[in-house]
Amino acid sequence: MDFRVLGPVEVLDRRTGTYAAPSGAKQRALLGALVVRAGQVLPAERLIHELWGDRPPPGAANALHAHVARLRRLLRRAAGEDWISTRATGYTLGRPAARTDAHRFQDLSSKGRGTLAADPVRGAQLLGDALALWRGPALAGSGQGPLCAREAERLEELRLTTLETLYEARLRSGRHAEAARELERLTARHPVRERLYDLLMLALYRCGRQAEALGVYERARRRLVDELGVEPGPALRGRMEAILHHAPSLSAPDPDATLHELGGAIARLGLRIETLAREQQELIRRLEGLTSGVTGQGPPVEGGHLLEQGADVEG
């Protein structure tokens, strides 16, 4: 079974490809909390607070027990087995390694960041695959309890960071005009994300639109001052100064130069492998020669008779 939290919480039976989702807000909040803390026992009091906040209804413990029973039946129908375990102090989703789309998102995002410098095209593909797992806001419809709210906030920040890294990869791949168009939209949607403004300024500059890039800085400064009461940070100010002075660091990487460097590294690696192979063969020949020399000598002989190991010659 897969648990999906990058959007409304639901479960997927991988054997049949069928989905199941809790029908009510309390059921969604309960499942979301159990998935977020999979493998850990959640005390009943904490789950009650997650579902009803600071004003639980009379008989909240019995109501929680009823919600758990309904959710247990849902998961049993979806997977044919019991996923929720009852403990003395609370409940647990009994498998700490429960698969979630959030885990896959983080894994693909990490691989994309790791590939970015050496292969930005591959890095962009991995980052795009990670973002494609999202179906809406994380844990949508699971209420505003502290467990689900904190996890949703954490995942949303990771999503935005991954999105920013995706556009960095596209700029490294030479897709400046495309990136500029999409970053215009993203800065409007996320008006206080300085990294998005920074990437947009770089994309515009590489498209030969220096004045527009400087205009983006002024727009970012106004939004940050109006909404947060702060000036742009050093990274954004540094980008503005670099654009004013046409800093060489702003130039797009040369794909041909990168390929040439990669080809040279591959060639050097091939020569090294050939050298190691020759050295290995020479070592094998020497070992074979030593072995055959020892074998050819045979046991020692005295007066036409073979001497036994440890025999007394004088006697």
Band of the pLDDT at 75, cuts 50, 70, 90?
confident
| 123 burial level (CB within 10 Å; 0-12, 13-18, 19+) | buried
Q: What is the mean pLDDT of residues 65-77?
A: 91
Query: Which of 38-42, 253-257, 284-288 is least confident?
Result: 253-257
Q: Give the torsion through C-alpha atoms of 175, 158, 186, 178, to 10 deg.
A: 10
Query: Which of 64-73, 94-103, 146-155 is least confident?
Result: 94-103
- Please give the Cα distance from 193 to 225 (Å, whole number): 13
Tell me: pLDDT of 224 over 70.
yes
Domain final residue, candidates 61, 93, 125: 93
- Give me the pLDDT at residue 271, please: 65
Helical axes 120-131 vs 101-115, angle rounded to 10°: 170
**Could you tell me the residue range of the domain that residue 36 belongs to?**
2-93
- Please give the Cα distance from 21 to 252 (Å, whole number): 47
Q: What percent of the chain has pLDDT over 90?
A: 63
- Please indicate, yes or no, if residue 284 is contained in any of the structural domains: no
Q: Give 160-187 pLDDT, tens digit per residue.
A: 999 999 999 999 999 999 999 999 999 9
- Please indicate, yes or no, if residue 15 is contained in any of the structural domains: yes
- Please give the Cα distance from 12 to 78 (Å, whole number): 8
Query: Which of 33-42, 100-109, 130-139, 245-254 is least confident?
Result: 245-254
What total of structural domains would you count in the chain?
A: 2
CATH of the domain at 46: 1.10.10.10
- Please give the Cα distance from 219 to 213 (Å, whole number): 10
- Please indicate, yes or no, if residue 34 is contained in any of the structural domains: yes
Band of the pLDDT at 269, cuts 50, 70, 90?
low
- Please indicate, yes or no, if residue 140 is contained in any of the structural domains: no
Tell me: pLDDT of 313 over 60.
no
- Give me the pLDDT at residue 225, please: 96
- Please indicate, yes or no, if residue 240 is contained in any of the structural domains: yes
Tell me: pLDDT of 293 over 60.
no
- Please indicate, yes or no, if residue 306 is contained in any of the structural domains: no
- Give me the pLDDT at residue 266, please: 58
- Percent helix, strand, coil in the chain, to 5, is 65, 10, 30
- Please indicate, yes or no, if residue 144 is contained in any of the structural domains: no
Tell me: pLDDT of 305 over 50.
no
CATH of the domain at 217: 1.25.40.10
Q: What is the mean pLDDT of residues 71-84?
A: 82
Q: Give the torsion through C-alpha atoms of 30, 32, 35, 36, to 10 deg.
A: -120
Domain final residue, candidates 53, 70, 93: 93
Domain final residue, candidates 50, 76, 93: 93
Q: What is the mean pLDDT of residues 187-213?
A: 97
- Please give the Cα distance from 32 to 65 (Å, whole number): 16
Q: What is the mean pLDDT of residues 89-109?
A: 85
CA distances 103 to 52, 108, 116, 141, Å, are 28, 9, 20, 20
